[in-house]
A and B are shown apart, each in its own frame.
Chain A
Amino acid sequence: MAEVLDATTATTEPWADFRAALLDDGVLLATDVDGVYGRSSTYESVADAIDRLVLRVGADQDALSVRFPPVMPWSNFVKNGYLESFPDQMGSIHTFRGDERRHAELVHAAETGEDRAPLLESTDMVLCPAVCHPLYPTQSGTLPEGGRVVEVYGYCFRHEPSTDPFRMQAFRQHDYVYLGTPEGARAHRDRWIERGLEVLGGLGLTVESVVANDPFFGRPGRMLAANQRSEELKYEIVAPVFAEGRPTAISSSNCHLDHFSRPFGIDTADGAMAHTACFGFGVDRITLALLDHHGTDPEGWPADVRAVLWP
């Protein structure tokens, strides 16, 4: 009986129809791992259009533009507090440094489905968990008068396997990061929430901003999450998805206070500890929300939405 119930539950997941449409229409390509997909040219044409839209919207920011690979140093990961707060989402990178005998054991372990971990060694890298994280160590020192805005785009990884297409393990963020005074950080956050609502609403999505918290680990994490919420440090822009209209975050903003500037020694022009804030467009989440809302064929989307994406 339990198996029958499980099977019923599995087919009624709220994302079942959307996931089936994405895979059946070849918009996303499934892999052996939940939450890791190949992207079709159809999907990428939308993601690219959002990327360019984000750049047009931020053209007035006079932002420094940087790109990092999807890996970052372990030292950075520890120093910026990610290990402390989100150990369960980590993508630690390992390699093999043994001899031929150990190699044979590794191949054997793979063939028999045994755990490979005891035969591997850690490297000095992790998969990048948030696109702005590799930025902060590069900003050590004194910021110019008025602070600095940096535009960063790239892939992130968080270990959260799920069949929900919106819960990808590898996904892209396009961020505008501010480094400067506390007042400047709040103003950046407020300005970009407003812009985000306008831009995403212009794509035919029904959006609103809500106070949110990050999924901090464990019991101590519940306290960090409560603090984050009570201080309203994180906002998400959510849009309803699936038939049930589940509110789903498609962009977010975070005021980090001095969380990143303290470990990396980032100061304002007048010598005070800098504050940082970022606004991130969830490029894959926005792409998916559009595919969910307007259908899996972008050629058939409303003309006004297409005009914004492909001017």
Chain B
Amino acid sequence: MTVDETIRQVLADHGRLAVPVDSLSDDTDLFGAGMTSHASVNVMLALEDAFDFEFSEKMLKKSTFVSIAAIRSGVLELTGG
């Protein structure tokens, strides 16, 4: 799976979104699409499992997980991609 496919799969499994993941654009506000704070924590943990890294302390905030684009930027920062 590509990075984007993995992110979308994690969101489908853990995001508890009110809309289908396929309907999300890169910049859709995930919290606006129904993701709760607790769901975002599960998304964070699932991304760590999927990519085998740990988000740094300073990344543990809402803005890191606000959209697919934001998540991708965090993932690429940590994987050096």
* Chain A interfacial positions (CB closer than 8 Å to B): 81, 84-85, 219-220, 222-224, 226-228, 230
Does the CB pair A222–B60 fall under 8 Å? yes
Does the CB pair B37–A227 fall under 8 Å? yes
* Chain B interfacial positions (CB closer than 8 Å to A): 37-38, 40-41, 44-45, 54, 57, 60-62
Does the CB pair A220–B62 fall under 8 Å? no
Measured in the bound complex, the distance between the Cα atoms of B38 and A81 in whole Å is 9
Does the CB pair B60–A226 fall under 8 Å? yes
Does the CB pair B38–A84 fall under 8 Å? yes
Does the CB pair A220–B44 fall under 8 Å? yes
Does the CB pair A224–B57 fall under 8 Å? no
Which residue of chain B lies nearest to A225 when distances are taken between CB atoms in the complex? B60
Measured in the bound complex, the distance between the Cα atoms of B63 and A227 in whole Å is 9
Residues of A with C-beta under 8 A to B60: 219, 222-223, 226
Measured in the bound complex, the distance between the Cα atoms of B45 and A224 in whole Å is 13
Return B1 CB to nearest CB of chain A, in Å.
Answer: 24
Give the interface SS of chain B, mostly helix, strand, loop or mixed: helix
Which residue of chain B lies nearest to A84 when distances are taken between CB atoms in the complex? B38
Give the interface SS of chain A, mostly helix, strand, loop or mixed: helix
Measured in the bound complex, the distance between the Cα atoms of B45 and A223 in whole Å is 11
Known: A224-B41, A227-B62. 16 other contacts (CB 8 A): A219-B54, A219-B60, A220-B41, A222-B60, A223-B40, A223-B41, A223-B60, A223-B61, A224-B37, A224-B38, A226-B60, A226-B61, A226-B62, A227-B40, A228-B37, A230-B62
Does the CB pair A223–B44 fall under 8 Å? yes
Which 8 residue pairs are nearest across A and B when measured between Cβ atoms? A220-B41, A223-B60, A226-B61, A227-B37, A222-B60, A227-B62, A224-B37, A223-B41
Measured in the bound complex, the distance between the Cα atoms of B40 and A226 in whole Å is 12
Residues of B with C-beta under 8 A to A227: 37, 40, 61-62
Residues of B with C-beta under 8 A to A85: 38
Residues of A with C-beta under 8 A to B62: 223, 226-227, 230
Return B6 CB to nearest CB of chain A, in Å.
Answer: 20
Return B51 CB to nearest CB of chain A, in Å.
Answer: 16
Residues of B with C-beta under 8 A to A228: 37
Measured in the bound complex, the distance between the Cα atoms of B41 and A136 in whole Å is 24
Measured in the bound complex, the distance between the Cα atoms of B40 and A224 in whole Å is 9
Residues of A with C-beta under 8 A to B57: 222
Measured in the bound complex, the distance between the Cα atoms of B38 and A228 in whole Å is 11
Pick from B41, B57, B61 the residue with the most CB of A within 10 Å: B41
Q: List 18 A-B contacts (CB under 8 A).
A: A219-B60, A220-B44, A220-B45, A222-B57, A222-B60, A223-B40, A223-B62, A224-B37, A224-B41, A226-B60, A226-B61, A226-B62, A227-B37, A227-B40, A227-B61, A228-B37, A230-B61, A230-B62
Residues of A with C-beta under 8 A to B54: 219
Which residue of chain A lies nearest to B61 when distances are taken between CB atoms in the complex? A226
Residues of A with C-beta under 8 A to B45: 220
Residues of A with C-beta under 8 A to B61: 223, 226-227, 230
Return A30 CB to nearest CB of chain B, in Å.
Answer: 39
Measured in the bound complex, the distance between the Cα atoms of B41 and A247 in whole Å is 30
Residues of A with C-beta under 8 A to B44: 220, 223
Return B59 CB to nearest CB of chain A, in Å.
Answer: 9
Residues of A with C-beta under 8 A to B41: 220, 223-224
